[in-house]
Copies of this chain bind each other. A is one copy, B any other.
Amino acid sequence: MFYSLPCVTMPPDPPALPGNDKEAEADARERLLAAAQDAFAEHGFKGATVRDICRTAGANIASVNYYFGDKEKLYIEAVKRAHVCAGRMDTFPVPPAGTPPVEKLRGFIREMVTRMNTPASPAAMKLMLREMADPGKAAHVVVTEFIQPAAFALRAMLRELLPQLDEQHLLMTGFCIIGQCLYYRQNRPISELIFGKEAIDALDSNAVADHVVRFSLAALGHAVPIGDATSGRKTSARGKK
């Protein structure tokens, strides 16, 4: 199992904060960022108010101007911080050389689903998803540092796995996989409304990861299809191709 996280797994300390060797009280700037992250995640950019953020952070109204300039710059910084807290996607563990393509893909999907469903910081993940659903000024950061590396890694794996597939179908295949990974978190509230909160809560994160892996690999012909004998864990099941 090569995908043990080598990077941050807990909400990390403020990354490389100058002069932050204090004991208990965090920097005001850092408190503002943390409060902003929560508030923006919960209410969006428009919905969150700087007054509320400052109150939560125990700082004065003027401090957001002092440290960040204005609300929007604070927002962008909060998103940047969130993408670190949520676990940067470009820090995906690299499988050891010689790992079979199918195994690489399996590890990737598992990692993706796991990170989505049990993020180190739920608020950070929520904020990132919000920015993804409605890209604004901060989307560039999220895409460049968080998503694009993962997307390109996935595409490389698929190309290795399906060398005969044209670009467009390769792209769509990646979307099919990512779509599944994103669904559970992106649409969890709605799923709960449809099927009831209990039914959704009952879904174990590991079981979801396993299922998405099997579904995707089966679609690619590298696992036993869903619904077949329960031992559907073998890698290259059918001797086709």
Contacts and interface: CB of A to CB of B under 8 A. Distances in A.
Contacts of A171: 195, 199, 203
Copies of this polypeptide in the complex: 2
What's the dominant secondary structure at chain A's contact region? helix
A172 B207 CA distance: 9
Contacts of A220: 218, 225-227
B194 A151 contact: yes
A189 to B, nearest CB: 5
A224 B220 CA distance: 9
Contacts of A12: none
Contact of A147 (B148, B190, B222): B190
Interface stretch (A2-10, A25-33, A63-71, A128-136): A128-136
Interface string A162-205: 10110011011101101111111011011101110001001100
A212 interface: yes
A219 B133 CA distance: 28
A55 interface: no
A133 B41 CA distance: 12
A36 B151 CA distance: 36
A172 B203 contact: yes
B211 A173 contact: yes
Interface of A: 43-44, 46-47, 129-130, 132-135, 139-140, 143, 147-148, 151, 161-162, 164-165, 168-169, 171-173, 175-176, 178-184, 186-187, 189-191, 193-195, 199, 202-203, 207-208, 211-212, 215-216, 218-222, 224-228, 238, 240-241
Given A165-B227, A172-B207, 6 more contacts: A139-B193, A172-B203, A172-B208, A173-B226, A176-B180, A228-B240
4 A-B pairs closest in CB distance: A221-B225, A179-B183, A46-B46, A162-B227
